[in-house]
Amino acid sequence: MNPFKQLLQTTGAATPVGTWIMSASPLVAEAMGHAGFDWGVIDMEHTPLDLMDLVHMLQAVSGTPLLPVVRVPWNDTVNIKRVLDAGATTLLVPFVQNAEEARAAVAATRYPPEGCRGMAGMSRASKFGTTPQYLTTANAQMTVILQLETTEAIAQLEAIAAVPGVDALFIGPGDLSATMGHVGQLTHPEVLAITANAVARAKALGMPIGTVGGTTEVVAQYRAIGFDFVAIASDLGLLMRSAQAALANVRNTGASPITPTNGGY
């Protein structure tokens, strides 16, 4: 079974906690992997990561307890194919709006006849051709998490969740708040209300649903709402806040460390 899918099924009352890895640094990714997080998103959508960088990131966290989730740049068959060939098995696909786009995302992760992933006999995914029967077993090892980031997508939640091969949903609070006219106000009452409604609807379907918050206080709110898995901040967010707090203390200026703005983590 895919390790991330297994994590969701075996944690019981303990909500799996992850983080975002945005530094594009294998060394930082490895360090975050040893920090105690259950999972982490290696982000290719909003970072300068290319395919070889991704390979290095996956290699870096492979010796740590952290389970990697790769956010692809876009819901694109070629992007997804190359990320899978690089060795990713759990994908976060951004900005999925409806069931048709959900089906396209799933199909891109499956070899025929279930999907349209192009076959390669020699890739990192198959341990360079040494994994027995990789081409016939790979489909069952995939986990697909679809990111709902607009009110339109949340309205289509049931239809998206019903697509075979969708394993989990993920609310993108930054873009969601923007589509509601509350840019950067991730905890605006209207944003939290539609988020709580989405969580309740996903739970009624038995579909795991997750999200990310920039601070422990925000994540506590999300856990209270009932999210099945949550992420706290990012490697860069944690670094910058700690750095500014330390600097303010040394200089004794009384300045406060930065807090996430405009939906940042």
Environment class of residue 164 by beta-carbon count within 10 Å: exposed (0-12), middle (13-18) or buried (19+)?
Answer: exposed
71, two tokens = 């956010």
Task: Measure the CA–CA gap between 166 and 108, rounded to whole angstroms.
Answer: 12
Tell me the residue length of the chain.
265
Quick check: bond before 113 cis, omega within 30?
A: yes
Choice among 34, 46, 56, 182 that is catalytic: 46
- Beta strands 17-21 and 90-93, pairing class: unpaired
List Cβ neighbours of 55 (8 Å cut-off, separation of 6 or more).
Answer: 86, 87, 124
Query: How far, in Å, are 4, 148, 247 from residue 155 at the CA level?
Result: 26, 10, 45
CA atoms 126, 128, 130, 135: torsion sign: positive
Active-site annotation holds for 182? no
Amino acid at residue number 45: E
In this structure, are residues 24 and 49 in contact, taking their beta carbons and an 8 Å threshold? Answer: yes
CA atoms 120, 126, 129, 134: torsion sign: negative
CA diameter of the chain:
64
Question: Residues with catalytic annotation?
Answer: 46
